[in-house]
Every structure is written in C-alpha cells, then in structure tokens.
Amino acid sequence: MDNKIYRVLATQFLTAFADNAVLFTAITMVMKQSETGNWYIPALQAAFLIAFVALAPWVGRFADGRPKPKVLFGANVIKALGAVMLFFHVEPLIAYAVIGLGAATYSPAKYGILPELVDEKSLVKANGWIEGSTILAILGGTVIGAFLSEYSITVALLVVMALYVFSAFIALTIKHTQVIGVTKGNALQNFTHQMKGLLSTPRARFSTLGVSLFWASATVLRVLLVAWVPAVLFIDSTADIAMLTMFVAIGIAVGSILVPRLIPMAYLRRARLAAYVMGIVIVLLATMDNVWLVRVALFTAGVCGGLFVVPINAALQEIGHKTIGSGGAVAIQNFFENFTMLLAAGVYSIVAGIGIDPVITMIWLGVLVVIATMIVSWHLPKDTGELSDEIA
C-alpha cells in the first residue's frame, strides 16, 4: 500500500471520529432538554443528510475538478464550522446540517481518490482498510463522544473542532494532484445523464441500491437503539447506549477485513447472502432482553453489514472509474444512499413521533431489509469467477 493511502486513512479516521463524536454530543444536548420529543433525534440525523441529496449533482464534479486532497481539506473546514455553531448554541438542526454539508463535499473525494492511487487488484483491499478504519473511528468517536459530552459538552465540542482541523491539515500533506476535469454543461442534466450511464447494467444497479439499503437500515438502527435500549434494557445513559452501538462497529470492521477472502469482486453475488442474514438478525434482536445476547446480535449484524457493503462499494467505484469518473460515481452513490437514509430517517421520525413501540419498529426494520435485498438482487448476473466485462 502506497504511503499516500495511509495519509488518506489518517485523515478519514480523524474526520469520521469527529463526525461520530459530534453526533453523540448533539444527542446528549438534546436528551438533556426534556421538552424535545422522540422525533427530534431522527430529525437531527435527517438534517445531516439534506446536503448529500440536494447537492449530489454538484459535489461529484467539484471533487473531480480539483486535486482531491484540497477538497478533503475544505470539507473538514466546513465541518469544523458546524461544530463551532454548536459550541455557540446555534439550533442543533442547523449546525448539524452544516456538518452534513462538509461531509457531502468530503465523501466523493474520499472514495474517488482510491482508484486514482491504487490498481484494480488492490482496490478491494484499500476499501477494506478505509471501511475498517472508518468503523474504528465510529467506534472510538461514538464512545468517547458520548462519555465526553456527559462530562462536559464544551470539552466534547473543543475536541471535535481540534480533530477536524488536524484532519484537514493531514489531507494537505497528500501529494496527489491528478484532476479528472470538470464536466461542462448543466450540472443537473449531466448528473441525470451520468446516473443513467452508471445504472445501465444490473451489476451497477445492485451495487448502488445495495449500498443505499445498507446505510438506510444502519441509520435507522442507530437512532432506533436510542429509543429501544431504554424501553427494553432499561438503560438510559447516552454513554451506555453508545457502548452497545460499539458492537455493531466492531462487527463491521471484522466483516470488512474478511471481505477479500470471502467476497472478492468476481463473486459479488455472495454479498446478498450477508444482507439476508443481517435482516434476520435484526428481527431476532427485537425479541431479546439480555444485554449479552444483544451485544452478540449487534456484532453479528455488523459483520454481515461489512461483508455486504465493502465488496459492492469496490465494484461501484471500479465501474465509475472506468466510465463516468470516480468522483461522479461516488456522488451518484451518495445521492441514492443518502436519499434512502433521509427517507428512512424521516419515516422513523414520524413513527417515533406517533409513539409506535420501538420493538415493533425494529421487527419491521429487519423484515424490510430482507425484502429490499430480494428486490435489489433481482436480475443480478451470475458470478463467473472473473472480473465482469461490465467493469471493463
């Protein structure tokens, strides 16, 4: 692995750590305000996603039209600004939406730089490292953010701001100046045209919709646990809830490491089996009231999630790199996955607001994961044991 990849890993780890620390800091802020309803936390997650959907036609060409390390730097600065807004008590929904703006700008550059730095054979490995480091960052950021915020909101936000700034400056040290170039013409029309081109094959459609399915279900599960854990396990501490979500993160990291051996890109169909198991485990999780069984179930769901999302991420990046440009492909991927995440968070916000039991909600979440996996896997071509001609 090239030294530049390790710098990408470092900047990604720090920014992802801060992203998750600031989320649980914001959740702690909200939970301390007794007047806020159950709908507010999923609405907070939805606010983060708005920029991903609204700016999808522009962020891909923005990433492809500039050296990606500079894009990573600027995106971290925007995230730091959102944390500053939280520090000065700006409405959390607005401040977290600004952090989402930085994340929407960051993502195409983060994933788009990988196929520019490594060859096709190393892309799955690079993705595994990126996903693994991201999950470790989620793990650390979630737990430390929750503990710090319960100790002091001020300290937690200062740490978050420092991490964003540090990540920004590491990004500037990545010596990579390749620029694909900005696509001329109307951004929205070009985005629609690129979307049609990228989704012209079953393999690309499966990859795009599969990633969307994973992140939509993961988003709902994450905020659902905030309501489900106190109702079923009688645990009210933000830090203790964060410790439970840690098992999902560990599981995804383990799944990401196992991917190159179990599901290389030439055997992409195998990924759908992991998604089926993930849905079944979520259904079983809803019926559990023992904390250790819950931890095992969350870990298992995480392993399946890692086995599902990493190979289809790599396949989509390679297809995009050889067709419409890696930044554009990631922007389209982000549009679909964040649209479904926004939709899922919005629906769950309504469900929580009208008071539906979180156990019932979790059962339906698992069932919907299984059904959605069947739909996105429809017409997926058989594996040949070789890289598909659709990628070439």
Among 18-22, 41-45, 280-284, 295-299, where is mean pLDDT lowest?
Answer: 41-45
390 pLDDT band, cuts 50/70/90, is very low
Single out the residue of 68, 120, 108 nearest to residue 322, CA to CA. Answer: 120
Q: What angle do CA 137, 139, 143 make, to 5 degrees?
A: 115
| Domain-located, residue 369 | yes
Question: DSSP letters of 169-200?
Answer: HHHHT--------PPPS-HHHHHHHHHHHHTT
Q: What is the mean pLDDT of residues 345-366?
A: 88
Could you tell me the pTM of the whole model? Answer: 0.72
The total domain count for the chain is: 1
Q: Which residue has the tokens 């054979």?
A: 121
Q: Is the confidence at residue 260, as pLDDT, over 70?
A: yes
Q: Is the confidence at residue 322, as pLDDT, over 90?
A: no
Q: What is the mean pLDDT of residues 28-46?
A: 77
Contacts 24+ apart (CB under 8 A), 33-41: 37/353, 38/227, 38/352, 38/353, 38/355, 39/349, 39/350, 39/352, 39/353, 41/223, 41/226, 41/227, 41/352
Cα 274 from Cα 150, distance rounded (Å): 36
What pLDDT shows up at residue 388?
A: 44
Among 129-138, 140-149, 176-185, 352-361, where is mean pLDDT lowest?
Answer: 176-185
Cα 39 from Cα 17, distance rounded (Å): 25
What pLDDT shows up at residue 36?
A: 64
Name, of 100-104, 127-131, 133-137, the range with top average pLDDT: 100-104
Give the other-Cβ count within 10 Å of 69's Cβ: 22
What pLDDT shows up at residue 122?
A: 72
What pLDDT shows up at residue 325?
A: 65
Give the other-Cβ count within 10 Å of 372's Cβ: 20
Report the CATH number at residue 285: 1.20.1250.20
What pLDDT shows up at residue 120?
A: 64
Domain span at 157:
3-174+187-376
Q: Is the confidence at residue 186, as pLDDT, over 70?
A: yes
User: Per residue in 2-12, pLDDT tens?
Assistant: 677 888 889 99
Cα 142 from Cα 18, distance rounded (Å): 9
Cα 182 from Cα 128, distance rounded (Å): 29
| Domain-located, residue 20 | yes
Among 192-196, 315-319, 350-354, where is mean pLDDT lowest?
Answer: 315-319
Single out the residue of 273, 290, 299, 305 nearest to residue 373, CA to CA. Answer: 273
| Domain-located, residue 198 | yes
What share of the chain in percent tops pLDDT 70?
88
| Domain-located, residue 265 | yes
What pLDDT shows up at residue 142?
A: 84
| Domain-located, residue 162 | yes
What rounded mean pLDDT belongs to the chain? 83
User: Per residue in 198-244, pLDDT tens?
Assistant: 777 777 778 788 888 888 888 889 888 888 998 899 887 777 888 88
Q: What is the mean pLDDT of residues 129-152?
A: 84
Give the other-Cβ count within 10 Å of 39's Cβ: 17
Q: What is the mean pLDDT of residues 306-335?
A: 74
More confident site: 262 or 264: 262
CB neighbour class for 87 (10 Å; exposed up to 12, middle 13-18, buried from 19): middle
| Domain-located, residue 181 | no
Name, of 100-109, 127-136, 241-250, 327-336, the range with top average pLDDT: 100-109
Q: Please report, as a single letter, which amino acid is at residue 183.
A: T
Q: Which residue has the tokens 């500079």?
A: 70
382 pLDDT band, cuts 50/70/90, is low
29 pLDDT band, cuts 50/70/90, is confident
For residue 269, what is the DSSP state? G
Q: What is the mean pLDDT of residues 132-144?
A: 82
| Domain-located, residue 23 | yes
| Domain-located, residue 77 | yes
